Amino acid sequence: MSSTPVKVAVTGAAGQIGYSLLFRIASGALLGPDTPVELRLLEITPALKALEGVVMELDDCAFPTLAKVEIGDDATKVFDGVNHALLVGARPRGPGMERGDLLEANGGIFAPQGKALNEVAADDIRVTVTGNPANTNALIAMSNAPDIPTERFSALTRLDHNRAISQLAAKLDVPVTEIRKMTIWGNHSATQYPDLFHAEVGGKNAAETVNDQDWLENTFIPTVAKRGAAIIEARGASSAASAASATIDHARTWVEGTADGDWVSMAVRSDGSYGVEEGLISSFPVTVSGGQWSIVQGLDIDDFSRGKIDASVAELAEERDAVKGLGLI
Ligand code: NAD
Ligand code: LMR
């Protein structure tokens, strides 16, 4: 095992997602069995007592990869020297709400956290925003951290990506491992566009293999895009274990890279690719190598896909304008 622990910050660590995420990170699911991890856990003051209980449980697991745990309510202390920041802490939506309804409540969390990361994080910091509305919260954090390269900020659409893979695999009765090149475009919201036209099943085009435009438009896309709401309706609480798992998948891919012949979905700062307004944090197909992501280039976008991508990007621009109006960026 290497000797210097990698410092991983998790915000909202006493929450639902934290309760699954921390144990996976501590057991090596993020950085592997040979890399010791130091957890830096941020919570609001009233939740620190509950967080102390979670830390007792972490201790009780005796994970060989867990070198140290520090907790606190001061972002500039907790983020000091961190290499990864998983920004989960934010209010979840309840039944009947859209994720955008959380902008005002949650946006205010990400400006001070962006400033704190800018001030004290390690030079190689990588930031993943899971707290909703994730894309625009990542934009807020990025805008408040002018000294951190913009490509170090991302938001989670890997959960949508995994949901899309699972729905497609079930439709075609194939293992999920047969599916490659899935893409989620746009916002982590009901306007997101899960794209089967570039995905592959067993090496063949997914949309052609499905050969059912009605299923694609009226079942697949809405099932993936509204899955979060369906879980809230069924569970009475928003997705937690699957969100934690996708957060690990996202951050691990950022470290390890994508498999040959495959890509993943990540919401990252647009450079204008595929007509997505530059500067918005929008989900794209990306490959990752050497810790750096690149947007996959050269995909043909037909009129159907164009309309879907444009609608989701228009929503991101509206969210950006709203947080500008609130003085958060
Ligand atoms: P939760 O309410 O169980 O936990 C949130 C925690 O964040 C709480 O413990 C709270 O005290 C803490 N918190 C609030 N403000 C904070 C701050 N300023 N600093 C640090 N911690 C703070 O919620 P949850 O179910 O764990 O969900 C967390 C967020 O993740 C929600 O916004 C939810 O909508 C979002 N989410 C996103 C995805 C995704 O795919 N992007 C998936 C699931 C959930
Ligand atoms: C999800 O997609 O499950 C999360 O974003 C939670 C939500 O509000 O849908």
CA 179, 194, 108, 97 dihedral sign is: negative
State the Cα–Cα distance between residues 7 and 160, nearest whole angstrom. 27
In this prediction, residue 111 carries a pLDDT of 96
CATH number for region 157-322 = 3.90.110.10
Active site residue 188: yes
Mean predicted confidence (pLDDT) in 129-146: 98
Note the pLDDT of residue 196.
98
pLDDT in tens, 57-71: 999 999 999 999 999
Cβ(6)–Cβ(81) under 8 Å?
no
Inter-residue contact 323 to 302 (CB < 8 Å): no
> Which ligand is nearest to the Cα of residue 240, counting in written order?
1
Same topology between domain 6-155 and domain 157-322: no
Q: 271-295 pLDDT, tens per residue? A: 999 999 999 999 999 999 999 999 9
Residues lining ligand 2, Cβ inside 6 A:
92-93, 99, 132, 159, 228-229, 231, 238-239, 243
Domain locations along the chain: 6-155, 157-322
From CA 282, how far away is CA 316, in angstroms rounded? 8
Confidence at 93, pLDDT banded by 50, 70, 90: confident
Under CATH, what is the fold of the domain 6-155? Rossmann fold (3.40.50)
Averaged pLDDT score across all residues of the chain = 97
